């Protein structure tokens, strides 16, 4: 019905009709999907939450005399960065923490500082202490380097997150008799609370459940700047059971995303501490969905009431990889502040900020309306619900002498 | 009647005196200890809910001040750093007194400091360390 090229033409002329993933719900309710698809060109989505498989790579520039960090060590404010590349390329993971962090030795550990915080501090313009060691070669003789670095001094600083933007997620509860500290927050005993982590009706992959428009090369809002979908994310699991509307009944698709860190903002990339669990990075992502036809409009208008998440037990079942759920609940129920689990009324808590997700969808909408942001044609699809692509558990094999 | 939550700072010299006892005995104030760190030889801190007649309450406060106890309203002590809060809401089910509540329309988290009892549970679970203690 419409093509991305046609939509881009309208964006350039300032005529594109852009609405958020919340706003399209009302439109489809009132006018129907067919009429809405004719009128609306782009739907903007958003999500903001802790996404642990995030990080950034940097090229720090060559020192004089030269040093080869590859095969050596590198620390940024005491947080280890991966140096197994060429001379001065490093990768900093969001969950990395200093060697002398007490971790969970004093339980629950506070995990106050790590890779995610360094990414935020770089964006705030702060100086970061880099300390590296190397073994020295004829062409790279130096063995030690200690210097301050800042974002503007780096050659490349690229956010490259290998798994973000989960399509749906578990609701976490604890049936044991003591509090537990998880990546879904503190879970009180005897199902004292239920925590969830998805933007629901604003979440990118829930509004394009079969990845009809989102693919490799899709231009997105990433951390307050412009980024791209680089690939499907790790643990991408498109084959899980789905409801009639296409919404997966369990965590399903994921995205790997990439973008120039230098144009991003600390407001949308925030270091995060999870009590008793570790450090992470809160990432803000917004994906535009071109409304190419009625089908896409219909999916983009799926609302919280129609998106169900599985309730998963985190004291025994999750850690021991025991399948099964304690039921299903939709995001409207989760957002009401309480749900019923095993006959008990339970207060809910969110790890993903819905108000920030909404701000992202609004921000992306304003970029497109101003003509600053054009949609990109995906260069390859990500594996879909019929692809046969699955997420396998590890099959452990004993290490034997060959 | 008046009912207020206050933070009392005891200088070291007062730690071993029965100050709260006097509030009950002489000023007929009802008290509920929400939190206390009172160790001999050190400065003490106590968070109290005090209830009583307006005149008694006023006299009780005057008594505390006269002996050298520093009084602060509780709300001054647990502060949300607005620039750090992301309004995620993970603190909401942890708060025992519903001082942290999600607005159903804006989905922002409100902090009602008058309901706060200073338990500091939110301080520990906040992923961005937005809840700060200022004792």
- Structural domains of chain B, with CATH: 2-74 (3.30.70.260), 78-133 (3.30.70.20)
- B88 in contact with A at a CB cutoff of 8 Å? yes
Q: For residues A310 and A323, is the Cβ–Cβ distance under 8 A?
A: no
Asked if B92 and A353 come within 8 Å (Cβ–Cβ), the reply is no
Token digits of residue B104: 């159903």
**pLDDT tens digit sequence for B56-82:** 999 999 999 999 999 887 766 789 999
pLDDT of residue B40: 76
Instruction: Provide the 3-class DSSP secondary structure of residue A238.
Output: coil
What does the alpha-carbon distance between residue A87 and residue A67 come to, in Å, rounded to a whole number?
7
Tally Cβ neighbours within 10 Å of residue A240: 17
- A356 in contact with B at a CB cutoff of 8 Å? yes
- B133 in contact with A at a CB cutoff of 8 Å? no
Q: Which residues of B touch A279 (CB under 8 A)?
A: none
Q: In chain A, positions 265-294, which contact chain B (CB-CB < 8 Å)?
A: 270-275, 280, 282
Q: Which residues of B touch A277 (CB under 8 A)?
A: none
Length of chain B (residues)? 135
Q: B14 pLDDT band (50/70/90 cuts)?
A: confident
pLDDT of residue B7: 87
pLDDT of residue B75: 65
Residue A249 falls in the annotated catalytic set: no
Q: For residues A279 and A266, is the Cβ–Cβ distance under 8 A?
A: no
Backbone φ and ψ of A284, nearest 5°: -100, 125
- Name A78's Cβ contacts closer than 8 Å, sequence gap at least 6: A98, A99, A100, A129, A131
- Percentage of residues in chain B having pLDDT higher than 90: 55
What does the alpha-carbon distance between residue B15 and residue B26 come to, in Å, rounded to a whole number?
19
The tokens 């309901």 sit on which residue? B115
pLDDT at B5 over 90: no
Selection from A197, A287, A284, A209 nearest residue A253 by Cα: A209
What does the alpha-carbon distance between residue A272 and residue A171 come to, in Å, rounded to a whole number?
20
Sort A155 into a burial class: Cβ within 10 Å, 0-12 / 13-18 / 19+.
exposed
pLDDT at B135 over 70: no
Q: Which residues of B touch A336 (CB under 8 A)?
A: 104
Mutate to test the interface with B, among A47, A284, A353, A359 (most CBs of B within 10 A): A353
Q: Which residues of A touch B90 (CB under 8 A)?
A: 185, 195, 349-351
Sort A246 into a burial class: Cβ within 10 Å, 0-12 / 13-18 / 19+.
middle
- A192 in contact with B at a CB cutoff of 8 Å? yes
Asked if A350 and B90 come within 8 Å (Cβ–Cβ), the reply is yes
Segments of chain A with pLDDT less than 70: 402
Start-to-end Cα distance in chain B: 28
Mutate to test the interface with A, among B90, B121, B132 (most CBs of A within 10 A): B90
Asked if A356 and B87 come within 8 Å (Cβ–Cβ), the reply is yes
Cβ-nearest to A272 among B91, B104, B127 = B127
pLDDT of residue B76: 64
> A352: distance to nearest CA of chain B, Å?
5
CA angle A355, A357, A359 (to 5 degrees): 70
**pLDDT tens digit sequence for A202-213:** 999 999 999 999
Question: SS3 for B3-47, per residue?
Answer: EEEEEEEECHHHCCCCHHHHHHHHHCCEEEEEEEECCCCCCEEEE
Selection from A94, A102, A100, A99 nearest residue A118 by Cα: A94
Q: For residues A329 and A309, is the Cβ–Cβ distance under 8 A?
A: yes
């Amino acid at each position: 019905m419409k093509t991305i090229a046609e939509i881009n033409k309208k964006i350039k002329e300032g005529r594109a009709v852009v609405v958020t993933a919340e706003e399209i719900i009302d439109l489809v309710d009132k006018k129907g999907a067919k009429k809405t698809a004719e009128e609306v060109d782009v739907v903007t989505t958003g999500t903001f939450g802790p996404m642990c498989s995030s990080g950034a790579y940097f090229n720090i520039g060559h020192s004089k005399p030269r040093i080869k960090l590859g095969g050596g060590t590198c620390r940024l404010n005491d947080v280890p960065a991966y140096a197994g590349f060429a001379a001065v390329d490093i990768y900093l993971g969001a969950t990395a923490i200093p060697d002398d962090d007490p971790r969970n030795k004093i339980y629950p550990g506070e995990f106050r500082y790590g890779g995610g915080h360094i990414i935020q501090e770089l964006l705030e313009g702060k100086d970061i202490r880099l300390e590296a060691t190397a073994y020295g070669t004829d062409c790279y003789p130096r063995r030690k380097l200690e210097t301050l670095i800042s974002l503007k001094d780096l050659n490349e600083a690229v956010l490259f997150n290998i798994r973000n933007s989960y399509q749906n997620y578990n609701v976490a509860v604890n049936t044991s008799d003591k509090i537990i500290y998880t990546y879904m927050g503190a879970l009180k005993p005897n199902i004292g609370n239920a925590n969830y982590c998805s933007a629901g009706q604003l979440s990118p992959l829930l509004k394009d459940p079969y990845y009809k428009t989102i693919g490799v090369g899709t231009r997105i809002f990433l951390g307050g700047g412009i980024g791209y979908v680089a690939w499907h994310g790790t643990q991408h699991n498109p084959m899980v059971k789905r409801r009639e509307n296409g919404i997966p009944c369990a965590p399903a698709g994921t995205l790997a995303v990439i973008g120039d860190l230098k144009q991003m903002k600390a407001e949308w990339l925030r270091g995060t501490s999870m009590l008793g669990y570790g450090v992470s990075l809160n990432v803000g992502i917004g994906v535009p969905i071109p409304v190419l036809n009625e089908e896409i409009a219909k999916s983009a208008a799926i609302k919280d009431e129609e998106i169900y998440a599985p309730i998963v037990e985190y004291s025994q079942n999750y850690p021991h990889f025991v399948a099964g759920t304690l039921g299903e609940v939709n995001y409207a129920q989760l957002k009401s502040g309480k749900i019923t689990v095993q006959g008990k009324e339970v207060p809910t808590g969110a790890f993903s900020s819905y108000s920030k997700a909404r701000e992202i969808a609004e921000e992306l909408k304003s970029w497109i309306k101003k003509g600053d942001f054009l949609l990109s044609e995906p260069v390859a699809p990500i594996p879909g619900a019929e692809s046969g692509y699955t997420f396998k558990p590890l099959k452990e094999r004993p290490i034997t002498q060959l | 009647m008046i009912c207020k939550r206050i933070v009392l700072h005891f200088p070291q010299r007062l730690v071993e005196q029965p100050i709260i006892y006097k509030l009950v005995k002489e000023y007929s104030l009802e008290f509920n200890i929400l939190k206390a760190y009172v160790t001999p030889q050190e400065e003490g801190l106590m968070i109290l809910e005090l209830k009583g007649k307006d005149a008694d309450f006023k006299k009780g406060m005057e008594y505390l001040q006269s002996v050298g106890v520093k009084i602060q309203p509780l709300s001054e002590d647990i502060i949300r750093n607005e620039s750090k809060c992301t309004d995620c809401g993970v603190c909401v089910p942890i708060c025992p007194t519903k001082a942290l509540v999600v607005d159903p329309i804006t989905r922002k988290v409100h902090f009602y400091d008058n309901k706060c009892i200073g338990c500091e549970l939110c301080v520990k679970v906040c992923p961005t360390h937005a809840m700060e203690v200022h004792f």
